[in-house]
Homo-oligomer: A and B are copies of this chain.
Amino acid sequence: MSTDTHVPHPSTDVEMPAVAGDAATEERTRERISDLGQSLRTATGGRYGEVRDLARATLPAEAMVRDPDMSLDEAREWTRRTLATMVEHGAAGSGFPLEQGGLNDVGRSCVDFELTAHGDLSVTVKSGVHFGLFGGAVTSLGTAWHHENVLPPTLSLEQIGCYAMTEYGHGSDVSSLETTLTYDAGSDELVVHSPTPSSTKAYIGAAAADARMAAVYGQLIVDGKGHGVHVALVPVRDEDGNPMPGVTLGDHGLKGGLAGVDNGTITFDQVRVPRRMLLNRYGGISDEGRYESDIEGDNKRFFTMLGTLVRGRICVAAGAAVSSRKSLSIATRYALRRRQFDAPGHEGEVTLLDYLAHQRKLLPAIATCYAHTFALNEVFERLQELHEAPEKDQVAQRELETRAAGLKAVITRFANDTNQVAREACGGAGYMAENGLTVLRQDADVFATFEGDNTVLLQLVAKGLLSNYKEMFGDLDMRGMVQFAARSIGDQFIEVTAARPFVSRLIATAARRSEDETLLERGWHLSMFADREKHVLETVANRLRKNAKDSDSFRAFNEAQDHVLLAARTHVDRVILEAFVAGIEECQDEEARTVLERLCTLYALSSIEADSGWFQEHNRMSAARSKAVTAQINRLCAELRPDALAIVEGMGVPEAWLNSAMLREPERWTPGAGQAQADTGQVQPSAVATAE
Contacts and interface: CB of A to CB of B under 8 A. Distances in A.
A561 B357 contact: yes
Contact of A692 (B360, B543, B672): B543
Interface in A434-462: 434, 437-438, 441-442, 445-446, 448-450, 453-456
A278 interface: no
Nearest to A458: B357
Top 8 nearest A-B pairs (CB, nearest first) are: A612-B613, A256-B438, A343-B554, A539-B692, A254-B433, A169-B671, A616-B616, A563-B691
B423 A420 contact: no
A450 B438 CA distance: 15
Contact of A173 (B341, B555, B611): B341
Contacts of A552: 345-346, 684
A373 interface: no
A140 to B, nearest CB: 23
Contacts of A478: 341, 343-344
Interface string A656-685: 000000000101111111000000000110
Interface string A523-547: 0000000000001100110110000
Contacts of A68: 254
Interface residues on A, range: 35 or more
A423 B453 CA distance: 12
28 contacts: A69-B72, A69-B254, A71-B71, A168-B429, A172-B340, A172-B427, A197-B665, A198-B667, A198-B668, A198-B669, A254-B433, A256-B433, A257-B431, A257-B438, A341-B477, A341-B478, A344-B477, A358-B455, A424-B448, A424-B454, A438-B445, A555-B683, A562-B634, A563-B691, A609-B613, A613-B615, A616-B626, A617-B623
Nearest to A610: B613
Copies in the complex: 2
Given A539-B691, A667-B198, A692-B539, A340 B173 contact: yes
A669 B168 contact: yes
Contacts of A665: 197
B477 A202 contact: no
A146 B170 CA distance: 61
Interface in A468-482: 476-479
